[in-house]
Amino acid sequence: MNHKKIIAFNWKMNPGSLKQARALLNVANHAGLKSKNSRVVVFPPFEYVFSYDFWGHAAKITKGAQDCFWQARGPYTGQISPRSLKQAGISWVIIGHSEKRIHGNETNLQIAKKLKTAVRTGLQPLLCLGDDAFSHKQGIIRTKQCIRKQLHESLSLLSSADIKEIVFVYEPIWAISAVSHGKTDDPVHAARMVSYLKELLVKEFRFPDSRVLYGGSVNAKTVSKFLGFDDINGFLVGAASLKPDQVSGIIRAIENNS
């Protein structure tokens, strides 16, 4: 199946002002408008997610949120209601990001609950799966075991119809935020893991046309190295998504490679 490449910009807790956030959104929107072969999804922090002033009329942008709770609504202090997201026009949600797993002690079972509620609320989940540095150092067999376990546990509460609604991301934890530690993934290894995930989805979940993105310090310079691998259906981008020249450079590189 020939899908557009998905470019998912994860802004984390940035930028610090509505003015900067709108300027960045405009850059992504303008670059996206020139691109026929990409779908641009922006995941801003929550202070902007529910703000009409922020989203305005960015026609090319698909609206995303960085997380949601596993109950649609109810007495859960501090949680984000998936139903409220849907009502606010948000269509995508990141679930299982390694920073939530690490800093929020999120488990695969909690992720499974979130996925189930998100799908059944009509949100498009982007499920992040990734090996840690320890598994990575032990080699490809251990890395694959780690991903397979996360996949099975994260999908444990979902029907096969639910699973077909998910877009996956292979995002090795050790390759995230290379700006601070310098370690990035080799595109051949990244593509091998993306293909492995797709194989697992076919063989063990009867899901033949899954979409799997790659995430881990991708930027305008490195993105073309990953674009040679057809199995990679797009990218989840963190740090580079905060720099206007990187945003337009990534979208342009994808357009030129299509």
Active centre residues (catalytic): 97, 171
Cβ distance to ligand PEP smaller for residue 29 or 219: 219
Q: Name the minimum Å distance from CB 35 to ligand PEP.
A: 19
Closest among 156, 157, 253, 234 to 194, alpha carbons compared: 234
By the 8 A CB rule, do 143 and 193 touch? yes
Q: Name the minimum Å distance from CB 199 to ligand PEP.
A: 23
**Residue 177 interacting with ligand PEP (CB under 6 A):** yes
By the 8 A CB rule, do 191 and 170 touch? no
Nearest residue to ligand PEP, by Cβ distance, number only:
238
Q: Name the minimum Å distance from CB 173 to ligand PEP.
A: 9
Measure the CA–CA gap between 15 and 247, rounded to whole angstroms.
14
Cβ distance to ligand PEP smaller for residue 143 or 184: 184
Cβ distance to ligand PEP smaller for residue 81 or 114: 114
Contacts for 121 with CB less than 8 Å, ≥ 6 apart: 72, 82, 83, 85, 86
CA 203 to chain centre: 23
How many residues contact ligand PEP, by CB under 6 A? 13
Q: Write the DSSP string, 94-123.
A: EES-HHHHHHS---HHHHHHHHHHHHHHT-
Residue located via tokens 């051949």: 188
The angle formed by the CA atoms of residues 232, 185 and 241, to the nearest 5 degrees, is 70
Q: Name the minimum Å distance from CB 8 to ligand PEP.
A: 8
Segment 199 to 258, residues that bind ligand PEP, using CB under 6 A = 215-218, 236-240
Q: Name the minimum Å distance from CB 240 to ligand PEP.
A: 6
Segment 116 to 135, residues that bind ligand PEP, using CB under 6 A = none
How many CB atoms lie under 10 A from the CB of residue 152?
Answer: 14
Closest among 6, 56, 1 to 168, alpha carbons compared: 6
- Pick from 90, 93, 163, 176: which binds ligand PEP (CB under 6 A)? 176
Measure the CA–CA gap between 214 and 169, rounded to whole angstroms.
5
Q: Which span (55-63, 170-178, 189-197, 250-258) binds ligand PEP, by CB under 6 A?
A: 170-178
Q: Which stretches of the chain bind ligand PEP, using CB under 6 A? A: 10, 171, 176-177, 215-218, 236-240
